[in-house]
């Protein structure tokens, strides 16, 4: 049985090794709406395998982590990819948080984030960071609703077939 890192009423977060990122590819394929907003195209066939290589250079081993969010039947219902102690000690950066389309809009995202915040705090984290592309209004509203504050706009930066402005946001965990 896979290790559980954190849980909600609906989901169990299991670590995914960098050599096994392909297990989240079916979720990336199902989340075409997100990929169209962020990249102007569907997920690439090897999008999941590229996750470790898209992290910033110079990270220590284990600083980047990926979690598969499993439902009660063990199905892949979401994923969360983040960096520990980035860009500074105690600050954790959420690179990608996706729920399958059928799992959205029911408070599950807030529950996952709340459980993840507990995991971050238990491991010395005191601030979360995220960056949201300008055209992802639903994503921005989600992050604002769960307590993230706008910090600064950056870009435009090239992402897939798009040039996006990105809003950096933070949440102090207190």
Strands of the sheet with 76-83, listed across from one edge: 6-7, 12-16, 64-70, 76-83, 91-99, 127-133, 162-172, 149-159
- For residue 30, pLDDT beyond 60: yes
User: CA-based angle 104:82:138, to the nearest 5?
Assistant: 30
SS3 content of the chain, % helix, strand, coil (to 5): 30, 35, 35
- For residue 22, pLDDT beyond 70: yes
Mean pLDDT to the nearest integer, 51-55:
92
SS (H, E, C) 100-156: CHHHCCCCHHHHHHHHHHHHHHHCCCCEEEEEEECCCHHHHHHHHHCCCEEEEEEEE
Rounded alpha-carbon distances, angstroms, from residue 132 to 61, 93, 94, 149, 165:
26, 12, 10, 12, 9
Domain boundaries, given as residue ranges, for the chain: 6-172
Calculate what percentage of the chain has a pLDDT beyond 70: 99
Q: Which fold has domain 6-172?
A: Aminopeptidase (3.40.630)
Q: Give residue 1's pLDDT.
A: 54
**174 band by pLDDT with thresholds 50, 70 and 90:** confident
Q: Give residue 62's pLDDT.
A: 87
């Amino acid at each position: 049985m896979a290790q559980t890192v954190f849980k909600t009423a609906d989901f169990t977060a299991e670590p995914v090794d960098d050599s096994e990122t392909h297990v989240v590819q079916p979720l990336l394929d199902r989340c075409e709406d997100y990929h169209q907003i962020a990249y102007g195209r569907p997920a690439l066939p090897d999008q999941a395998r590229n996750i470790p290589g898209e992290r910033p250079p110079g990270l220590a081993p284990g600083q980047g982590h990926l979690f598969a969010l499993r439902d009660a039947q063990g199905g892949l219902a979401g994923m969360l990819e983040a960096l520990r102690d980035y860009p500074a000690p105690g600050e954790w950066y959420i690179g990608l948080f996706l729920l399958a389309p059928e799992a959205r809009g029911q408070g599950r995202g807030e529950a996952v984030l709340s459980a993840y915040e507990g995991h971050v705090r238990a491991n010395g984290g005191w601030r979360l960071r995220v960056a949201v592309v300008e055209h992802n209004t639903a994503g921005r509203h989600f992050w604002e609703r769960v307590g993230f504050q706008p910090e600064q706009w950056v870009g435009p930066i090239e992402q897939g077939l798009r040039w996006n402005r990105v809003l950096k946001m933070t949440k102090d965990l207190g």
